[in-house]
Amino acid sequence: MTTRRDVLTLGLQTAFVSASLGLTCVAHAEVESDKQQQQLRTYLRTPRLVGQQRFTYWGFDIYDASLWASAPFSPDAWAKQNLVLTLRYLRDYKGADIAQRSIDEMQGQRPLTPVQLKNWSAMLQTLIPNVRNGESITGVYQPDKGMQLLHQDRLLGELSDTELAQRFMGIWLAPETSQRQLRQQLLARAQP
């Protein structure tokens, strides 16, 4: 037979465990945040979150995007600045599908030459991995060097073709992007 005292004791124990787990989660989030800030400092002088947005397509959540830059940041001159763009995926995708969609988006902004289409497709198909729900792909863009791609903070490779790197980042940041609202939110905290 369970007494009222047993029920209260169990309730207090549950509350204590929940509170302890909550503190552990907060501490873990702070460690992750510190780790992210240290990583960003590797690529940016003074990392600053420019904007973030969840990308949804036909009602399906695809990924959470966040754009980081050094202060000051000018949205009109994004292609001339060091940037870090992270996409945290909210479902599983094949790398080949992500690569093809990237090529389609670049082609939609401005047609690619047959040589670019062939070479860039092959390069992206090779670099972009399959992703699972919760995993991220990060692009570290440097206008004079190209871009590094990372998967879960592990270097996948580099795009040394600066035009490819700029066109790839343009999928999210170029005025000609097919997702203007996403672009607007990624640039939301930019200084005027």
CB atoms within 10 A of CB 52: 16
pLDDT score recorded for residue 190: 74
pLDDT, averaged in runs of 10, over the chain (192 residues): 40 33 36 53 73 94 95 89 96 97 95 96 97 97 95 95 97 95 89 53
CATH for 45-186 (3.60.20.10, 2.60.120.10, 3.50.70.10, 3.30.43.10): 3.50.70.10
Q: Return the amino acid letter for 134.
A: G
| Helix, strand, or coil (residue 26) | helix
What ranges do the domains of the chain cover? 1-43, 45-186
- What per-residue confidence (pLDDT) applies to 9? 35
pLDDT tens per residue across span 140-174: 999 999 999 999 989 999 999 999 999 999 999 99
Q: In this structure, what are the phi and psi dihedrals at residue 126, rounded to the nearest 5 degrees?
A: -75, -40
pLDDT at 155: 95
How far from 165 is each of 15, 80, 139, 162, 169, CA to CA, in Å?
Answer: 51, 12, 9, 5, 6
**Helix ranges, 4-132 (H):** 4-43, 95-109, 114-127
pLDDT score of 28: 35
Q: What is the pLDDT of residue 189?
A: 79
Rounded to whole angstroms, how far apart are CA atoms 136 and 169? 16
Kind and range of the H or E element at 159? Answer: strand 154-159
Rounded to two decimals, the pTM is 0.77
What is the pLDDT at residue 8? 34
Q: What is the pLDDT of residue 145?
A: 95
